[in-house]
Amino acid sequence: MKNQYTFQNSLDFAQQCDQEDLLRHFRSKFLLPTDANGNTLVYLCGNSLGLQPVQTKEYIQQELDDWQKHGVEGHTDAKHPWLSYHEFLTESMAKIVGAKSSEVVMMNTLTTNLHLMMVSFYQPTKTKYKIVVESDAFPSDKYAMESQLKFHGFYPKDGLILWTPRKGEETCRFEDLEEILRTQGEEIELLMIGSTNYYSGQHFPLKKIAQLGHKHGCKVGFDLAHGAGNIQPDLHETGADFAVWCSYKYLNSGPGSLGGCFVHERHADNDTLPRFAGWWGHNKDTRFNMRHDFDPLSGAEGWQLSNPPILSMAAIRSSLDVFEAAGFENLRAKSEKLTGFLEFLLDDLNDDQINIITPRNKKERGCQLSIQVKNADKGLHTALTKAGVISDWREPDVIRVAPAPLYNSFEDVFEFVKRLKSVLE
């Protein structure tokens, strides 16, 4: 599916698009990186680390001030009381991932949450123990799944099934996943798929995957590290059992910030599910009466472990407030046009060295395009960096660029392709 826009390859056209962009003023709400001379860099790396909202410093300072003023009493007396701080994030986060508020909680980090979810939803037997993942999943996911297999006494080489692109292709076909389930479904316990692949940028059909997995008696989970804040995963409607994500990429919450977790409402009060429990998942009414047995909260909150880091949550709240003001549907509309413009400009180079491995169908991708450059090495990325472009290099020959609709402009995209052309020449 080609985009429906009519583009022109000119700076004037890019600037015209920016003038007509209803979200253009949100760029000023972010701090844009500069070079040693104070020149603004072309930053297209929100898929690795989102930029800092201007107001984040204020949000964090408020918590520092309340800590100074109240000490421990800040848990109840702070402007935004710390005891319930995670609840200030829930509604906005639920909108972004398409879930009910009771299904979402911000806690821990992504891989920690993945392990916690597999404790509950990966329950292997001697005959049904395998896990399916896309072959080029982010390494941390693979490490987590391999370690879970080992923990349960299985060999990762036997237990981990890779959903692999066909020879000569870079993206996965759904019909190949169907074949895996048709031939090995009785042995598969869990489908654990990245919603949007970090390397290729391919966005998978989540609802179809969830339905396929459940049809064969498997649990289904998604890693939204490259999905949350980028695409609309509609988690509740997919019917997935769980999902996990980070918040420092498209959600702009700062390096190493907290992750998020989704647990479908059908599991909200299932006390037969095993879990690694902690006191913050305990009934709020009796949490501070230390003599009670564990009484899990209903919904995703019941998987919490510890009281959360407030300074990190303040940064998340800052970013989510920007998302709320922009409206996620508006962001997706701009993102499709912005990435479509990038695709058009790359195609217009007519350069045989360049191959876009991300799907052309805008419904099968988010804002990222992965650009394969024939016979390139990391020297190309280094040259781009010297030319004032912040992008991401992935071995052996791919540059990942992700124009984020909150702060990237059409002129950013035009400048990137112009500088790429210069470096290639």
* Secondary structure (DSSP) of 334-368: HHHHHHHHHHHHHHHT--TTEEE-S-SSGGGB-S-
Does the structure show a pLDDT above 90 at 179? Answer: yes
Among 8-12, 223-227, 287-291, 412-416, which stretch is predicted with the lowest mean pLDDT? 287-291
**202 — phi, psi (to 5°)?**
-70, 130
Does the structure show a pLDDT above 90 at 415? Answer: yes
- pLDDT (tens digit per residue) in 114-166: 999 999 999 999 999 999 999 999 999 999 999 999 999 999 999 999 999 99
d(CA 304, CA 280): 5
Domain segments of the chain as ranges: 11-54+328-424, 85-323
Q: In which element (H, E) is residue 321 found? A: helix 310-326
Average pLDDT estimate for 9-37: 97
Give the distance, in angstroms, between the CA of residue 65 and the centroid of all CA atoms in the same chain.
Answer: 31
- pLDDT (tens digit per residue) in 238-286: 999 999 999 999 999 999 999 999 999 999 999 899 999 999 999 999 9
Which residue is associated with the tokens 């790429």?
A: 420
Spatial neighbors of 335 by CB under 8 A, at least 6 apart, are 230, 366, 367, 403, 404, 405
Asked whether 119 and 275 are in contact (CB, 8 A), the reply is: yes
Q: Specify the pTM.
A: 0.96
Average pLDDT estimate for 382-396: 95
Q: In which element (H, E) is residue 189 found? A: strand 188-194
- pLDDT (tens digit per residue) in 296-328: 999 999 999 999 999 999 999 999 999 999 999
Q: Which residues of 270-287 are buried (b: 16+ CB within 10 A; e: fewer)?
A: eeebebebbebbbeeeeb
Q: What number of H helices and E strands is found in the chain?
A: 14, 15
Which residue is associated with the tokens 């109840």?
A: 76
Average pLDDT estimate for 78-85: 97
Residue of 357, 359, 391, 352 whose CA lies nearest to 372: 357
Structure tokens at 57: 């410093």
Q: Distances from the Cα of 25 to the Cαs of 41, 83, 196, 264, in angstroms?
A: 18, 34, 28, 36
What pLDDT is attached to residue 291? Answer: 84
β pairing state of 398-401 and 392-394: antiparallel
d(CA 179, CA 143): 25
Average pLDDT estimate for 163-191: 97
Taking the CA atoms of the chain, what radius of gyration do you get in angstroms?
A: 22
d(CA 137, CA 77): 44
Helix, strand or coil, per DSSP, at residue 106 = strand
Asked whether 265 and 300 are in contact (CB, 8 A), the reply is: no
What pLDDT is attached to residue 1? Answer: 45
What pLDDT is attached to residue 134? Answer: 97
Average of per-residue pLDDT values in the chain:
96
Spatial neighbors of 267 by CB under 8 A, at least 6 apart, are 120, 241, 242, 273
* Architecture of the domain made up of 85-323: 3-Layer(aba) Sandwich (3.40)
256: left (phi over 0), alpha (psi -120 to 50) or beta: left
What pLDDT is attached to residue 182? Answer: 98
β pairing state of 389-390 and 42-43: parallel
What pLDDT is attached to residue 5? Answer: 82
What pLDDT is attached to residue 251? Answer: 98
Asked whether 140 and 110 are in contact (CB, 8 A), the reply is: yes
**Cα atoms in the Cβ-side hemisphere of radius 13 Å centred on 271:** 5
Q: What percent of the chain shows pLDDT beyond 70?
A: 99
Average pLDDT estimate for 388-406: 96
Structure tokens at 299: 């919904």
Can you identify the CATH homologous superfamily of domain 11-54+328-424?
Aspartate Aminotransferase, domain 1 (3.90.1150.10)
Does the structure show a pLDDT above 60 at 209? Answer: yes
